[in-house]
Amino acid sequence: MITSPPRSSDGDGPRNGAGTGEGTGQGSPRNGTGHRRPSEATPYVDLTRAEWSALRDKTPLPLTADEVERLRGLGDVIDLDEVRDIYLPLSRLLNLYVQATSGLRGALNTFLGESAEQRGTPFVIGVAGSVAVGKSTVSRLLQALLARWPEHPRVELVTTDAFLYPMEELKARGLMSRKGFPESYDRRALTRFVADVKAGKDEVSAPVYSHLIYDRVPGERLVVRRPDILIVEGLNVLQPALPGKDGRTRVGLADYFDFSVYVDARPEDIERWYLNRFRKLRDTAFQDPSSYFRRWTQVSEDEAFDYARTMWRTINKVNLLENVAPTRGRATLVVRKGSDHKVQRLSLRKL
């Protein structure tokens, strides 16, 4: 989907300096360890790449270079060093979270007098961030790494693109120029899907979305069967629930998450990545006769890139600034990328 990078989030969120001209995470007073000084009012602990990498302990690297290449998104820059330094420690942390959460739920079952033999509730992870920031690659890497841990071999990944309204309905609602904005999703169906998985239903299905035709695939469904872990990836997965017509607050998608990741970068870097990806797609996937964007291979390069820049500035960047970036402060972990697509700093919400 060609849809939408971040300004500073609300007060308790970690800073990234987006749109301010300052360096990512720079300017924050730190103590000798590189962490924020205790006097600073923040729920996060900031870590450099080296500090974070050291936390992987002795976790072995289970992926080969070929596997990483297959998981990498178009235009994303990732290699075994990035997996070893960033995503191995994250998989270790998530494994610890899964075990701790399972223990907590066991204690709750004991208190409620329920059988300890009941199958555990799936652990749900949300992955958010701008279009073109690399959150899909992060999600696929986490799926591959987490499935290698013996405690939770069944790891499913669902993208919220599957819950975009069909193109015909988007047109009827006048939302084609708002595709990717919160109102373009069937949020009720998405939340119900995650709630049903979390409740341990034997089988839950979701629509299938195709980036080639830029729409849902008629008649196709993705079926999820009692996973150990469910990863939910999308632009707006961390948004709080909207009040209902009666003014009462409803349960939102993020309320079902046990852990969440926000993939962050400067808006100007994401714009460049977005345009580079458009260039590569124009030479590859857009050439397919079935592609919704094939018409942009039939015009001059200047005309095609004028369209891409307009899409970025009037749709994707607006969505990022108004809807996506403000949710950064709700994430458990913020992963900050530099201009080379490599992670530079991380902010972990303290328990």
Q: Which tens digits make up the pLDDT trace of 70-83?
A: 877 666 678 888 98
Annotated binding site for ATP: 129-136
Distance CA 69, CA 140 (A): 11
Q: How many CA atoms lie within 13 A of 84 on its CB side?
A: 9
Q: How confident is the model at residue 114 (pLDDT cuts 50, 70, 90)?
A: confident
Alpha helices in the chain (DSSP H): 49-53, 65-71, 80-82, 88-112, 135-146, 167-172, 187-198, 267-283, 301-311, 317-319
Q: What is the pLDDT of residues 203-223, one digit of tens each?
A: 999 999 999 999 999 999 999
pLDDT at 18 over 90: no
Q: Does 311 have pLDDT greater than 70?
A: yes
More confident residue, 197 or 119: 197
Which token pair is 139? 């999600």
Of 37, 87, 26, nearest in space to 61 by CA? 87
This prediction has a pTM of 0.85
| 293: pLDDT strictly greater than 80 | yes
Question: Any idea which of 63-72, 112-121, 209-218, 244-253 has the lowest mean pLDDT?
Answer: 112-121
Q: What is the pLDDT of residue 328?
A: 96
> Which class would CATH give 62-260+267-326?
alpha beta
Percent of the chain predicted with pLDDT > 90: 67
pLDDT of amino acid 121: 86
pLDDT band at 25 (very low <50, low <70, confident <90, very high): very low
Does residue 39 surpass a pLDDT of 80? no
Mean per-residue pLDDT, 79-103:
91
Instruction: Give residue-wise pLDDT tens across range 250-290.
Output: 889 999 999 999 999 999 999 999 999 999 999 999 999 99
Residue 112 CB burial class (10 angstroms; 0-12, 13-18, ≥19): exposed
Beta bridge partners of 159: 233
Task: List, as residue ranges, the binding site.
Answer: 129-136
| Whether pLDDT at 93 is above 90 | yes
pLDDT confidence bin for 34, thresholds 50/70/90:
very low
Q: How high is the pLDDT of residue 351?
A: 67
E-only strand ranges, the chain: 44-48, 123-129, 155-159, 204-210, 215-224, 229-233, 259-264, 333-337, 343-349
Residue 294's alpha-carbon distances to 177, 278, 300, in angstroms, are 18, 12, 13
Which positions ≥6 away from 195 have C-beta within 8 Å?
251, 256
Q: How far apart are the first and last CA of the chain?
A: 35
pLDDT tens string 315-339:
999 999 999 999 999 999 999 999 9
Q: How many CA atoms lie within 13 A of 275 on its CB side?
A: 17
pLDDT at position 226 over 90 = yes
